[in-house]
Structure 1
Amino acid sequence: MKSFTTLLFALLLIVLNSCNTIEDPVIPKTIKLDEKSAQLVEAGNEFGLDLFRRIYAGEMKYDNIMVSPLSVSVALAMTYNGANNETKTAMEQTLKVYGLTPDDINKSYSNLIAALQSLDPKVVLEIANAIFYREGFSVEKDFVTINQEYYDAKVEALDFSSANAVKTINNWVADKTHDKIDKIIDQISGDQVMFLLNAIYFNGIWQNEFDKNDTQDRAFHMENSSTLNVATMQKTDAVPYVANSLFSAVKLPYGAGNYNMYVFLPTEDKSVENIVDELDETTWTSWMESFTDTLNIDLKLPKLKYEYELKLNEVLSDMGMGIAFTGAADFTGINKGGNLKIDYVKHKTFIDVNEKGTEAAAVTVVAIELTSVMPSQNIQFDVNRPFFYAITEKDTGAILFMGTVKKPEYES
């Protein structure tokens, strides 16, 4: 009897220990933004959609494009703190921050950046900012203080004549993107006096992962009518789905569901270009609100891994801030002596979409230089042709990344 009691007690301990190893369900956190911060998110999305639409129009020769609206807008917002007069107005118009004061913009970005991070244990989102300036170059105290206080920016003077300066800046980029982007500048010219940088790193685990054993090479039909065999992930899942005359789309959650990837597949008689042409704040909001039905989907999605890099001078000039790149620029908020302009704005991105989840990174650098004066059966969603995608945060609606894929690539 004693041995039976001992055995029963041991079994009970095993059962209790087994119960303790079951993971508690992750409850998604919610973000409640104040009115000004919500207005900033809307402005950021409007800016990002306009930016992407213009980039796509000029970069259609490229198979795969990727942009982080958040990264570009944060880097420009830090730069905006040094702008005055017509240059300041032009940047406000380009960034779509109508009706927001500089203080509103800085506080709202501070609130947004803080809110977006640490939402989900299965999603890593890190946002970092930095300002590196030439040793001996005088920088206005208020400009430094504002960017440190609201953007938590690392501010450091460097000897720009030393090769170590380029290495220091690129090492910061590599560190903040977990080595997914290892370089953003190649050299420093004699006229360049400052680099303002934003880096974003995202690593999200699918809420329901793909089984690697189900990944197979499948045909992907490209726009030039050729066919490419690509590694394609497969699973059946209940996910939000929407279809209209332009596209069908699914919403794929990461972790607790705060962050999601949206995949937009053009209908047979449409193209990715037709989708991009429709991108504006009103249409985007309508699309986001249309994901009301959750249906069983037989999903096939190519694995992706690629980088993208672009200088944004031309597109930002077209959007209204051309003055910032000319000798007429007014950045006396950086240095009272003025004679400063933006040399270039460079944007670099990376994405890896695989069975486990998505890893993505983005870096934006603003270089400042001296001027010389629903069915019952499973729905088939086969991503076997060019498509558009976006990664957003649920509560704020903030667009972190967006891109198009015409030729899926994946390098192990």
Structure 2
Amino acid sequence: MQRINLFISLILVLLLFACNANDDSANEVKNIDLDTKSAQLIEADNTFGLELFQRIRETSDEENLMISPLSVSLALAMAYNGADNTTKAEMEHAMKLNGLSTDQINNSYEMLVDALQSLDEDVVFEIANAIYYQEGFPVHQSFLDINQMVYKAEVESLQFGPAAVKTINDWVADKTHDKIKEIINDLSPDARMVLLNAIYFYGTWAQEFDEDGTKMNRFTKNDGTILDVPMMSKTDKLQYSTNESFSAIKLPYGNGQYQMVVMRPADGITSTDLIGELSMENWNEWASQFSEQDNIMVTMPRFKFGFKSELVEILKQMGMLKAFTTAADFSKISSEKLFISDVIHKTYIDVNETGTEAAAVTAIVFETTSVGPGPKKIYFTVDKPFVFAITEKDTNAILFIGEVQNPEYEE
């Protein structure tokens, strides 16, 4: 199943591309007109996403994986608005944002997110952001304002604990149409803020596969194992490309604004080999090599799976170091010291004869460093009968000792 890996991971990257100029759909086609800085931001996001995908593949034992570069980038962009000094510079480097100012980044994301959600009336594409923080924790209003204004983030203070975990997971389930139901299991006593991004995509193929045409067929894994799997089949006019490394098609959704690129490695080359060739230079070159071809017979498996990745160590490898230490500078979020303790990314995808349903969630958890990296707080709740004693310090003499089974209190 590894051969599917690259196919899936590129779906949401492709959402950042403009529509196919040769689309014959009768629907009105909207285009995204990019200014120079917005085009530079997309180039940065794609470069970041391809490298992130490569590094996840290098470290993951899962046969099937998928990430949403857009989801990770948007969540990190919200956090970036609270960073300063070396922490901010390292985030810029890891996210490939060098050369763009904070205002340019925010303005470009605002334009891009608005445009992506209104491109095709036949495709559901939803982006949501949220910030939940510990009730009473001092957060700079300017940080909340920029994320509410630019990223349309929902903001709410909560008493962090089991109820807050449920609230956060309920938000995730709602925004992903129940395709991802949980992003965090618990919150550390030192947790102070959770930044969230959720993306949901549902698109029907411009020309659907005929369910009656789905037949069992052979599928050979990278290790040579042969499986019999349901293979969808159809003949269509499609964008097609082939070279010494792979053959590829573009399967359009709706009016063609969104599309899935399916890349079949050449004989003697694995999907893992192909992932190793991913770079922005190669990606741009490959994108220029497609041309429309008639009567392409497409046979491919339908598939559905979920994937989860913890991104802290990978982001460190990409140059984002201080953000995850007690030396982090997120002084634009709060006057109290914060660092990122977790970056969690979960995805879901279902590809079948009708189309594709996909979802992604990225959660960034901030913890406080106000008392340094010392022991965790211990919560002591006396909620059952107890024994007490009054003693003298120097002699340790017990002055009083007692038990309380019914703590009555009368005025």
TM range (shorter): 0.7 to 0.9
Uncovered stretches (5+) of structure 2, i.e. residues with no partner: 1-24, 374-411
* Corresponding residue for residue 52 of structure 1: 53
Letter in 2 for 1:131: I
Partner of 1:387: none
CA contact (8 A) 2:211 2:353 kept: yes
Match of 2:364 in 1: 366
Residue 256 of structure 1 aligns with which residue?
255
SS in 2 for 1:349: strand
* Structure 1 residue 293, shift from structure 2 partner: 3.5
1:215 aligns with 2:197: no
Give 1:41's aligned amino acid. I
Post-superposition Cα deviations, 1:62-104, rounded to whole Å, max 9, x if no partner, equal: 1101000000000000000110100000000111111111111
Task: Report the count of equivalent residues.
Answer: 347
Contact 1:64 1:308 in 2 (8 A): yes
- In structure 2, the residue matched to 1:177 is 176
Contact 2:343 2:362 in 1 (8 A): yes
Specify the SS of the correspondent of 1:143: helix
Task: Give the distance between the partners of 1:55 and 1:286, measured in 2 at CA.
Answer: 23
Structure 2 CA distance for aligned equivalents of residues 46 and 226 of structure 1: 33
2:127 alignment partner in structure 1: 127
* 1:205-354 mapped onto 2 (5 Å cutoff): 205-337=204-336, 339-354=337-352
Paired residue type of 2:33: K
Partner of 2:389: none
Separation (CA, whole Å) in 1 of partners of 2:27 and 2:83: 44
Identity of aligned pairs, percent? 51
Q: TM-score, normalised by structure 1?
A: 0.83
Deviation track 1:329-359 (CA, whole Å, cap 9, x = no partner) reads 111111123x211001000000000111000
Deviation at 1:191, TM superposition (A): 0.6
Q: Distance in 1 between matches of 2:319 and 2:343?
A: 14
What is the distance in 1 between the residues matched to 2:157 and 2:139? 10
Distance 1:158 1:170 in 2: 13
Deviation readout 1:370-400 (Å, 9 max, x if unpaired) = 1224xxxxxxxxxxxxxxxxxxxxxxxxxxx
Q: Which runs of 5+ in 1 are unaligned?
A: 1-23, 374-412
User: For residue 139 of structure 1, what is the aligned residue in structure 2?
Assistant: 139
The reply on whether 1:101 has 2:95 as its aligned counterpart is no
**Runs of 4+ with >4 A deviation:** none
C-alpha distance in 2, partners of 1:365/1:135? 19
The code of the aligned residue for 1:310 comes to: S
Q: Which residue of 1 aligns with 2:19?
A: none
Aligned match of 2:33:
32
The Cα shift of 1:230 comes to 1.2
CA distance in 1: counterparts of 2:91 and 2:36, whole angstroms: 22
Letter in 1 for 2:138: S
Q: Deviations over 1:189-222 (max 9, x none)?
A: 1011000000000001100000111111211111
2:342 counterpart letter in structure 1: Y
Determine the structure 1 residue equivalent to 2:64. Answer: 64
Q: Give the whole-Å Cα distance in 2 for the aligned partners of 1:25 and 1:323.
A: 51
Q: How far apart, CA to CA, are the structure 2 residues paired with 1:76 and 1:226? A: 39
Separation of aligned partners in 2, 1:63 and 1:153: 34
Structure 1 contact 241–248 (Cα < 8 Å) conserved: yes
The residue identity in structure 2 corresponding to 1:193 is R
- Please identify the structure whose Cα radius of gyration is greater: 2
Residue 295 of structure 1: how far off its partner (Å): 3.5
1:161-198 per-residue CA deviation (whole Å, 9 max, x = no partner) reads 3x211110001000000000000000011011000000
Measure, in 1, the Cα distance between the counterparts of 2:126 and 2:42. Answer: 18
Deviations 1:23-78 (A, max 9, x none): x921321110222111111111011011111111111x211010000000000000
Do the aligned partners of 1:241 and 1:295 also contact (CA within 8 Å) in 2?
A: no
CA contact (8 A) 1:49 1:280 kept: yes
* Residue in structure 2 matched with residue 19 of structure 1 by the alignment: none
Partners of 1:224 and 1:284 lie apart in 2 by 26
Residue of structure 2 in register with 1:392 after alignment:
none
